[in-house]
Amino acid sequence: MWSGLIKARRGAVAIWIAVMTPGLLIAASMGVEVGSWAAIQVSMQRSADLAAVAGTQLMANSSSVTAQTAGTFAARIAQMNGGTGTAALTWSGSCTLPCSSACSVTGTDNQITVKVTYCGGLQNSSDSMMTVSWTKSVPSYMSSPLFNSSSTHTITTTGTAEVVTQTSAPTGAGATQPCLVALSSSGTISGSGSTSVSSSGCSLRSNGSVTFSGGGSLNVAGVFAGGSISIPTYWSPMPAQYPDDGTISDPYASNTTLQNDLTTASGLSGASSISCSNESCTGLSNGSTCSGSSGVTCTLQPGNYGGLSVTGGGPFTFNFQPGLYLFKGAVSMISATTTINGTGGVTIIAAGGFEFENQPTVNVTAPTPSQVASNGGVAGIALASQTTTTVTVSGSDEYNVIGVTYFPNATFDASGSNAVGGNPVLGSSSSICTEIIAASIELNGATDFAGGCSSYGATSFTSTSGTPSTSAQVVH
């Protein structure tokens, strides 16, 4: 009996095996087939990426390469790797270059589609990029009869590459902080007569030209210009020169605090102006006071003012208390023996210009971040204006400003100045930071600088922007 039962069970198992074997074979075959589709998709993805990178690199190599030329090249790369194409792509869309917003053109090549986009990069909105899409039909042996579907399976892959611009960090003298910066590409840093600039720790940077004449010396880390450099060969020491060395951007264009204060100053209304002549001043506000007759001393408090003008008389001494001063108009001192003291952390911003003539002394120290937190102001900034009017420092003035002088749209003219009593007319010590940033700078006389006011919270930047390079990078 047991023998018969065992034989019956063996027979049942054999029947089940016979029934299940076709299904198992079909399942195994489908697994192999689906796995082959995955392998094909991986291969196609690599080819799509390669085609996109190849076409984008062609665009990166030359700005004159058209979208159609680069796109056709990418399509041919896809064809070489198994894509089915045609003799020529059919193009749609158009772009006008240079562009300010994203635009694209698309080329169709049978199973290959190439889309070239300008001003619409994923990493940078100004970048160009290319997308290559590739569709391929592969046989479907097992799934078709099982699911009553077509005898092919469609695989689509997309590769996207972008023309990415990267800039390497400056090295050597190019990594030096400038102490004199002329931002305008048509501007200059110039010196005539007897000009001496002493600051081995910083450089001179002009986005335009650099021109010196007469006698003098330049003891600086280097002289950089977007255009030409002309320095008498007999000057000693003679710094390293880097003409035709591109430009740098305004290091304070993105300083929100400074730019907002400049805008506020230009929009002020109702603020009174301080006017001084003979032995008196009028228009005092914000708790400011003046006293004295043969010598007038004024204590100014932070706040908003219409302007500050000294036209004669004096001597006048203006003691600026720590903080932020905004002037709707100009700050003009054209009277002899006038002194400005603002050494406790002072920022003076004017919508008008600055004029210092007839031997005034300007002693202003920009605030540090901790002083800004206590009293206000802009860290690292001593004097600033968006004026296009020439800023004048002349008549044997002493301009002892510690921190940054910022006039991005104006010429800073110190060409009428000379050293007073052997002291430099600009700057007080080569160990104390003094930076002048203007559209153009004109010098005449002894100057003493030390670029790099980071200890005051000023922006650190370099004499060159580094070396830019473009490359195609996969970004999908």
- Residue whose structure tokens are 């077509």: 150
CA dihedral of residues 34, 40, 41, 45 (deg, nearest 10): 170
- Give the residue among 257, 221, 256 at the shortest CA–CA distance from 242: 221
Q: What is the pLDDT of residues 390-444, one digit of tens each?
A: 998 876 677 888 899 999 999 999 876 654 444 555 665 555 788 999 999 998 7
- Give the residue among 386, 385, 395, 437 at the shortest CA–CA distance from 419: 395
Q: What are the pLDDT tens digits along the chain (476 aa)?
A: 555 545 555 555 556 555 555 554 555 555 556 667 788 888 888 988 999 999 999 998 887 899 999 999 999 998 888 877 777 889 999 898 888 889 999 999 888 999 999 998 888 888 899 999 988 887 776 555 554 455 777 888 998 999 887 777 778 888 899 989 999 999 999 988 778 887 777 899 999 999 999 888 888 899 999 999 999 999 888 889 999 999 999 999 999 999 999 999 999 998 999 999 888 899 999 999 999 877 899 999 999 999 999 988 878 999 999 999 999 999 998 877 889 999 889 999 999 999 988 778 889 999 999 999 999 999 999 999 999 999 988 766 778 888 999 999 999 998 766 544 445 556 655 557 889 999 999 987 767 666 678 889 999 999 998 777 777 788 86
* HSE (side-chain half, CA atoms, 13 Å) at 456: 28
Instruction: Give the number of other CB atoms < 10 A from CB of residue 303.
Output: 15
Question: Rounded to an integer, what distance in angstroms lies between the CA atom of residue 462 and that of residue 303?
Answer: 34
Q: What is the pLDDT of residues 276-307, one digit of tens each?
A: 988 889 999 999 999 987 789 999 999 999 99
Query: What per-residue string of b and e applies to 215-243 under the rule 16 or more CB within 10 Å gives b?
Result: ebbbbbbbbbbbbebebeeebeeebebbe
pTM, rounded to two decimals: 0.72
